[in-house]
Amino acid sequence: MRRERELDADLARQKLEVQSLNGKAVEYTALEREATSNREVLDRLLQRSRETALTRELQTSSIRIVDWAEPPTSPILPRVERNLLIALFGSGGFALALIFVLEAFNTRLRSPEDVRQFLRIPVVGAVPRVKPLKGRASLLLGNAVPGQFAEMLQAVRTNLVLAPELGTGRTLLVTSSEPSEGKTTSAANIAVSLARLSQRVLLIDADLRKPRLHEVFGEDQQPGLADVLAGKTSSRDFRKTKVSGLWLMPAGSVFSNPADLLGSNRFAKLIEQLRSHFDWIVLDSSPVLAVADPCVIARVASGVLLVVDSGRTPREVATAAVERLEAVRAPLLGAMLNRVAVDRRSESYFPYYNASYKAHYPQHEDSFSPPELPPAPAKQ
């Protein structure tokens, strides 16, 4: 039994040694694998070293690597910042040069300063550019026109009423340099505005070439001024309009010699006779440069108002019209700028206008009918 126990103890020791040897065998295997791997790496390094030494001995060029290439942080092309700066300053310079060139070659009258500088006449007032309402043929006071238009037209009326030349006689001739500058509409609105001051106003269509005042007020063209001057009708052949205090004498029949009719003594006597019945007489005539009619009519007028289409009438054209009127010694009151752009800053030709002024104007100008005027007393 003792021998058996000794053998069991030896067996247990042998088992422990076997287990210890197994662990050492595993560790040995790992070390051996690592040694094999290191030996292979060493062999490759030695081979690479020999190849490098051989390459160095065979290299005959003096090129050497100074610095290793690195990836750029930003693209070389396109250079956005440089291109933007070039575009900004280049376009700005081109725009300025273009503006100076356009201004140098632009000979149109656009502002009151242009009128005073080139025409050397005062500016009676300015009327803004307004589109007529749908369904209405003309832009006439009382037809719900914008309040801004009515207010600026009243400023023109105030300057006319206070003009010393119109203190006596009060016969106003409205004309323009060229056609389509708005003289007929301006004359009609001035007459309506004067009538609102409880004044007796007679509007005469002295444009016997292309009359339009009868269309503005919805009246017949005949009979009218030409018929009166030709002796076909009486001098009182004028009709009352829908505007209180305003009478209209249309152009009348078409004659082949309008300048002769307007230049006759009968026309001067007619105006003198009508002055005794009306406080104001407003005459609409043909353009100055088109025919000689305005120069003939100017001899019976107390003042002449030249309508200038802002941004459209060339300086030389308006200057020629002023020179023609001054040649016949017409009482030139000044110019009225028509269709002035005041809303858009880029096109504004009226530097004194401020957008905040709209708060002082009504949205639309309503019709106004003052009470009927008493009959005018007969003058001795």
Highest mean pLDDT among 65-74, 302-311, 347-356: 302-311
The backbone torsions φ and ψ at residue 236, rounded to the nearest 5 degrees and listed phi first, read -95, 25
Among candidate residues 139, 107, 113, 131, the one with its CA nearest the CA of residue 312: 107
Give the tens place of pLDDT for each residue, 220-238.
888 888 888 888 877 677 8
pLDDT at site 377: 41
- pTM for this entry: 0.66
Q: Which amino acid is at 119?
A: L
Highest mean pLDDT among 69-83, 152-166, 339-353: 152-166
Task: State how far the Cα of 226 lies from the Cα of 252, in Å rounded to an integer.
Answer: 5
Task: State how far the Cα of 136 lies from the Cα of 130, in Å rounded to an integer.
Answer: 13
32-36, 87-91, 158-162, 216-220: segment of lowest average pLDDT: 216-220
The backbone torsions φ and ψ at residue 183, rounded to the nearest 5 degrees and listed phi first, read -70, -35
Runs of H (alpha helix) within the chain: 2-58, 80-105, 112-114, 147-161, 183-195, 213-216, 225-229, 258-262, 265-275, 293-297, 315-327
List residues bridging with 146 in a β-sheet.
Answer: 364
Label each residue of 113-152 as H, E or C.
Answer: HHHHHHHCCCEEEEEECCCCCCCCCCCCCCCCEEHHHHHH
Give the tens place of pLDDT for each residue, 46-55.
999 988 888 7
List residues bridging with 304 in a β-sheet.
Answer: 173, 332
Find how far residue 95's CA is from the centre of its chain.
18
Task: Report domain 108-355's class.
Answer: alpha beta
Q: Is the pLDDT at 208 greater than 80, yes or no?
A: yes
